[in-house]
Structure 1
């Protein structure tokens, strides 16, 4: 945004995968979002029926939230997203011995804001740390969403969260 301030999930020193994360604002947002998840659970939604995800910074936030705080959710999606090379997510997963939520990730090959290679490196690092991942590249797609990408995401969500059947007491 050429230096203009904007509302975002967390602060960044710069849009780069090789600078430190702004951990104070990431951790603060994790606490806010945890309160929202806790409210859903109190209202009867099982954690294994919750998928966290987002586009761009929203996907990065979802990965922080799921892999650092809520490893018992059904899954995570990240569209045109990345984690910094020294992310707290990677550090948290190095000590992991539990089953982790599956990651569904998409990225455009022509993304000029978040290069495709950053998304791919994030996916490879998470895979090396025990996350089951899928990574879908979209040729000529910039930092934007595409119908085919959203259709793939929708299919993945339906597979992860099939319709619950009502149990009758007959």
Structure 2
């Protein structure tokens, strides 16, 4: 399994970089595509003091694509909430994500000044990251995203009651043809029942995509959680 490629596009224009946002793309895309898409929808998705990183997922066989090589964060048996997670694949990307966060720490950015988020599978990776692997993050956002039923994320959260969890911003289109709105809502409600605080916003007439209104919400939320220091 190849390592993720951390394509870093620094958009901070201030004197110093004091925080980081990591934006994970969906299955089959790449970091550069995600960056272009974000800036098409939110032309001013930049921050004076925040570096935004758009990594590219490893190229690996992807079962829903018939085993063809694809840039995906982890493999899965099917695009369904009812299948079991491929935990060996998830554990491999955990190592890469932890290294990415460690690199930011070594550059002077503490964990509580880092937000992770993503679209579709990238949002699912963000759930793993902030709700299971690194709970001291400043926040987690997810657009058109999901966790499978009985996910290990839920299982872990049941065993850590009372501990701090990063706030969540979750956004989903009501016409999503790939990840049904009910799947996104179920994920949010389950996380909330296990101690995650956050917001769930429904985008009217939006399919499996991002949009300007949703990206504006994410930008405002990031600015609130990561003020300049």
**Structure 2: segments with no counterpart, 5+ residues:** 1-27, 29-63
The residue that corresponds to 1:3 in the other structure is 65
The residue that corresponds to 2:51 in the other structure is none
The residue that corresponds to 1:79 in the other structure is 143
| Alpha-carbon distance in 1 for matches of 2:65, 2:124 | 21
Q: Deviations over 1:114-166 (max 9, x none)?
A: 101000000000000000020000111000110010000000000011111xx
The residue that corresponds to 1:19 in the other structure is 83
**Structure 1: segments with no counterpart, 5+ residues:** 165-170
Aligned equivalent of 1:30, options 85, 94, 106: 94
Aligned: 1:59 with 2:144? no
More strand by share: 2
Aligned: 1:49 with 2:122? no
Aligned equivalent of 1:119, options 164, 184, 188: 184
| Alpha-carbon distance in 2 for matches of 1:149, 1:129 | 25
The alignment's C-alpha RMSD in Å is 1.2
What number of residue pairs does the alignment pair up? Answer: 164
State TM-score, norm by structure 2: 0.70
Aligned equivalent of 2:175, options 105, 110, 122: 110
Give 3-state SS (helix, strand or coil) of 1:137's partner: strand
More helix by share: 1
The residue that corresponds to 1:133 in the other structure is 198
